[in-house]
Chains A and B, each alone.
Chain A
Amino acid sequence: MTFTKTLLASSALVGLMAGAAAAQTEIHWWHAMGGANGERVDRMAAEFNAMQSDYVIVPTYKGNYTETMTAAIAAFRAGEQPHLVQVFEVGTATMMAAEGAIYPVEEMMADAGEPFDGSAYLPAVVSYYQTSEGELLSMPFNSSTPVMWYNADALEAAGVGVPSTWDEVETAAQALVDSGMACGLSFGWQSWVMVENFSAWHDMPMGTQENGFAGFDTEFTFNNEAVANRLQRIADMQEGNLFVYGGRRGDSLPLFTNGECGMWMNSSAYYGSIVAQAEFEFGQTMLPLDTDLADAPQNSIIGGATLWALRGHEAAEYEGLAQFLTYLSSPEVQAWWHQETGYVPITTAAAELSASQGFYDENPGTDTAGQQLSLNAPTPNSRGIRFGNFVQVRDVINEELEALWAGDQTAAEALDNAVERGNELLRRFERSAN
Chain B
Amino acid sequence: MLKRVHFPASLLPYLLVAPQVIITLIFFIWPASQAVYQSFLIEDAFGFSTEFVWFENFEYLLQNDHYRDSFGRTIFFSAAVAFLSMSFALILAGFADRVVRGSTAYRTLLIWPYAVAPVLAGALFLFMFNPTIGIFPYLLEMVGYDWNHYLNGGQAMFLVIIAAAWKQVAYNFLFYLAAMQSIPRSIIEAAAIDGAGPTRRFATIIFPLISPTTFFLLVINAVYAFFETFGIIHAVTQGGPANSTTTLVYKVYNDGFIGLDLGGSAAQSVILMFLVIVMTVIQFRFIEKRVQY
Contact = CB atoms under 8 A, between A and B. Distances in A.
Interface of A: 66-67, 70, 73, 76-77, 94, 97-101, 245-248, 251-252, 254-255, 258, 260, 389, 391-392, 395, 398-400, 402-403, 405-406, 408, 421, 425, 428, 431-434
Interface stretch (B37-45, B89-97, B187-195, B217-225): B37-45
A405 B151 CA distance: 7
Nearest to A388: B44
B241 interface: yes
A248 B130 contact: no
Interface in B137-161: 148, 150-153
Contacts of B148: 245
A421 B63 CA distance: 12
A67 B152 CA distance: 28
A430 to B, nearest CB: 11
B147 to A, nearest CB: 13
A73 B51 contact: no
A300 B47 CA distance: 34
B125 to A, nearest CB: 15
A67 B234 CA distance: 13
A389 B240 contact: no
A247 B130 CA distance: 10
13 contacts: A94-B260, A255-B132, A395-B254, A398-B240, A402-B151, A402-B240, A402-B241, A406-B152, A408-B242, A428-B60, A432-B42, A432-B49, A432-B51
Interface string B249-292: 00000110111110110000000000000000000000000000
Given A246-B132, A258-B132, A433-B49, A70 B44 contact: no
Contacts of B152: 406
4 closest Cβ contacts across the A-B interface? A247-B150, A402-B242, A402-B241, A392-B259
B135 interface: no
B293 interface: no
B153 A406 contact: yes
Contacts of B239: 395
Contacts of A395: 239, 254, 258-259
B65 to A, nearest CB: 10
A70 B42 contact: no
A255 B45 CA distance: 37
A101 B48 contact: yes
Contacts of B48: 98-101
Interface of B: 42-49, 51, 60, 66, 130-133, 148, 150-153, 238-243, 254-255, 257-261, 263-264
A98 B46 contact: yes
A246 B261 contact: no
Given A94-B44, A98-B45, A434-B49, 10 more contacts: A70-B257, A97-B44, A245-B151, A391-B259, A400-B242, A402-B240, A403-B241, A405-B151, A431-B51, A432-B43
Contacts of B255: 392
B149 to A, nearest CB: 9
A77 B34 CA distance: 15
Contacts of B243: 399
Nearest to B57: A428
A408 B151 CA distance: 11
A77 B259 contact: no
B265 to A, nearest CB: 11
Nearest to B239: A395
A399 B153 CA distance: 11
B132 A433 contact: no
A432 to B, nearest CB: 4
B132 A260 contact: yes
Nearest to B64: A424
A66 B43 contact: no
A248 B48 CA distance: 33
A77 B45 CA distance: 9
Nearest to A254: B132
A432 B132 contact: no
Contacts of B257: 66-67, 70
B130 A254 contact: yes
Contacts of A99: 48
Contacts of A402: 151, 240-242
A421 B242 CA distance: 13
A258 B44 contact: no
A354 to B, nearest CB: 33
Nearest to A97: B44
A101 B46 contact: yes
Given A398-B240, A402-B242, A408-B242, A73 B150 contact: no
A73 B260 contact: yes
A422 B150 CA distance: 22
B144 to A, nearest CB: 15
Contacts of B259: 389, 391-392, 395, 425
A403 B156 CA distance: 13
Contacts of B46: 73, 76-77, 98, 100-101
A151 to B, nearest CB: 15
